[in-house]
A and B are shown apart, each in its own frame.
Chain A
Amino acid sequence: MSSGSVDHVIEVNRLTKRYGDVVAVSNLSFTVPPGLVTGFLGPNGAGKSTTMRMILGLNRPTSGTATIDGRPFTARQAGLHHVGALLDAGDVHPGRSARAHLSALAHTNGLPRRRIHEVLEEVGLADAGHRRVGGFSLGMRQRLGIAAALLGDPPVLLFDEPVNGLDPEGVRWVRGLFRRLAAEGRTVLVSSHLMSEMQNTADRLVVVGRGELIAEETVTEFAARGARAHVTVRTPQAALLVPLLAAAGATATPDGADALAVTGLPAAQVGELACRHHIVVHELTTHHASLEEAFMELTAHHAQYSAQETR
């Protein structure tokens, strides 16, 4: 009924969590919109898990708020209808079968029994449902955790490091799942400490380091921050090529014994230039700026900044 409260946005507002002297999350604000996969990036210990737990009301913030659909999650009754969460694949009793685990969860939220079968099928555990979770591999537990998150068919989904323990096929599957969930109009927040993972999965990024927000932007914008793209040219006649490149407006720096790192000229033009002057080229490779590089650069600055602040 109330307008603006059904848009499934996660809003984190000046969130802070202190454990004694340790600041896990510091004045963190960001927004997670629906219809996109938002990557929640940061090195281990950056406060990602703590933030997700505060969003779910599991940990109480020292200050600040986190809301979903404009309300704190703890104000909800049937949580599975609103948010599906995979926090840790281990968050299940190893003595129970997968089916019993999901059955207990379904009962609490009044979900029909068929949902248990549907989600087990969806994550590829239909045949393992009767087995005790203690005998599951980490990958299977991740799948069970994802099944539990999907149980209530929620509009908002949180996944904390979901790719850990998955085999390559599982990684591809889970990426497809996230994309599909977002395409269905759901809000999807996926945390990871692996930048490369996000490059293939996320539309937007929320990057944190030491509990503070470093960046909140699209993946493309973020990648543009990284070390600039360059072309590697491997040639025995580097001495001839360097002045030609300089004349064409490019910058070439030695990169090992017989290679040059060229910026300012695309690989195709570097190749044509060499061809016109009969210079032998053994290798010509384009390097895109990776999220990894962008991330390293950003967190390095951030770490330096923090170090100056505290000393």
Chain B
Amino acid sequence: MSAPASAPAPASVPAGSPSGAADPRVRRRGLLTAEWTKLWSLRSTRWVLGAGILLLLAGTVQKSWDDYHAWPSYHALERAHFDAMTTAFSNISAILLVVGAGVIGALTIVGEYATGLIRTTFSAVPARHRVVLAKLAVTTAVMLATGVVVSLSTFALSQSILSGRGIAVSVNDPGVPRVLLANALLAPLAALVGMGIGALLRHTAGTVVAVIVLLVVLPMTFKPTVHPWVNDLYMWFPFYDWAHCLSLRRPPAGPALPTVTVSWTAFAAWAVVSAAVTVGVVSRRDV
């Protein structure tokens, strides 16, 4: 059949299909805007982020007041081990942030599969890797911004309280910028890992459990040991590195403990592998 024979109503030939027209292109900007729209049009995103940040700030205020009031009664050894950065952002804060960011990241992927939206999405843009890259970019950027806000605001809040005892640190003090950066990177890292696990499992509850176990619960059970190979294994878990090295202004050195370099390497490796897994798995599997 030739083209003219198949046009019984020439007045209203569909707009997207003028004869010989070039294939309309998909622009990166449009894909990013779409993912941005998807993220913020869900009430759960706004609630989790808003309530989460408030909760973290409240925790920081509480911890700072505790240290402020207890400082006069601290012994010399306690004072020597005191780290104003831990007051700003404690282990519990880190757990909350990692779990929250990990779950939000996971839901950006699993939410599409669980609801079936993924089929609509890929019918609109058949080049799946481009959709996934846009989603990775938007989610990581939003989580990085969240991490920066959390890291800086908890720091500012805690130090302003601690300065009343003269035990606050400033941004320029040694080790402080690194801790601030590590605190800020927890959220985007957790979100990326959440997306990777979400892409692999495609099941909401399973993904949430896996994210929490892998990112937080498992590394929390690790303690430095006398077996070098076990320590070498532990070093590859970002939360372990954060707790035993990156979050401390003066990380203790020792053969059983992760170094700053190793810790950053683990952070980078998990981020890159997670992103690669997300793109690879989503592009290949049937939906």
Contacts and interface: CB of A to CB of B under 8 A. Distances in A.
Interface of A: 1-4, 6-9, 33-35, 53, 56-60, 73-83, 85, 87-88, 90-97, 100-101, 103-105, 107-110, 148, 152-155, 183-186
A148 B112 CA distance: 16
Given A77-B24, A184-B9, A185-B7, A95 B42 contact: yes
**For the complex of A and B, 9 pairs with smallest distance between CB atoms:** A100-B41, A81-B16, A155-B17, A91-B116, A107-B34, A78-B24, A155-B14, A59-B286, A104-B34
Contacts of A2: 20
Interface in B25-77: 25-27, 30-31, 33-35, 37-38, 41-44
Interface in B108-127: 111-112, 115-127
Nearest to A85: B123
A108 B125 contact: yes
A183 to B, nearest CB: 6
B61 to A, nearest CB: 32
Contacts of A103: 37, 41
Contacts of B23: 76-78, 81
A80 B125 CA distance: 8
Indicate the member of A8, A9, A60 with the most B CB atoms within 10 Å: A8
Indicate the member of B7, B43, B123, B125 with the most A CB atoms within 10 Å: B123
Contact of B25 (A33, A77, A93): A77
A154 B14 contact: yes
A110 B26 contact: yes
A58 B42 CA distance: 25
B30 A107 contact: yes
Contacts of A94: 115
Given A85-B120, A95-B41, 5 more contacts: A4-B2, A57-B122, A78-B26, A93-B111, A108-B121
Nearest to A154: B16
B108 to A, nearest CB: 11
Given A100-B41, A104-B34, A104-B38, A56 B123 contact: yes
A148 B34 CA distance: 14
A6 B287 CA distance: 28
Interface in B182-215: none
A93 B44 CA distance: 12
Contact of B124 (A88, A95, A108): A108
A79 B33 CA distance: 17
Q: Please classify the interface of chain A as helix (H, G, I), strand (E, B), loop, or mixed, using the class held by over half of its residues.
A: loop
B131 interface: yes
B126 A105 contact: no
B126 A74 contact: yes
A79 B115 contact: no
B109 to A, nearest CB: 12
A108 B138 CA distance: 14
Contacts of B8: 35, 183, 185
B92 interface: no
Nearest to B35: A104
B1 interface: yes
Contacts of B117: 91-93
B42 A105 contact: no
A4 B19 CA distance: 10
B15 interface: yes
Nearest to A56: B123
6 contacts: A6-B20, A74-B127, A76-B23, A80-B124, A90-B115, A185-B14
B120 A152 contact: no
B13 interface: yes
A154 B124 CA distance: 11
B17 A8 contact: yes
Contact of A108 (B16, B30, B111): B30
B120 A92 contact: yes
Contact of B34 (A83, A87, A105): A105
A81 B6 CA distance: 19
A97 B41 contact: yes
Contacts of A60: 286
B12 interface: yes
Indicate the member of B7, B13, B42, B126 with the most A CB atoms within 10 Å: B126
B3 interface: yes
A82 B16 contact: yes
B24 A6 contact: no
Given A58-B287, A153-B15, A184-B12, A104 B41 contact: yes
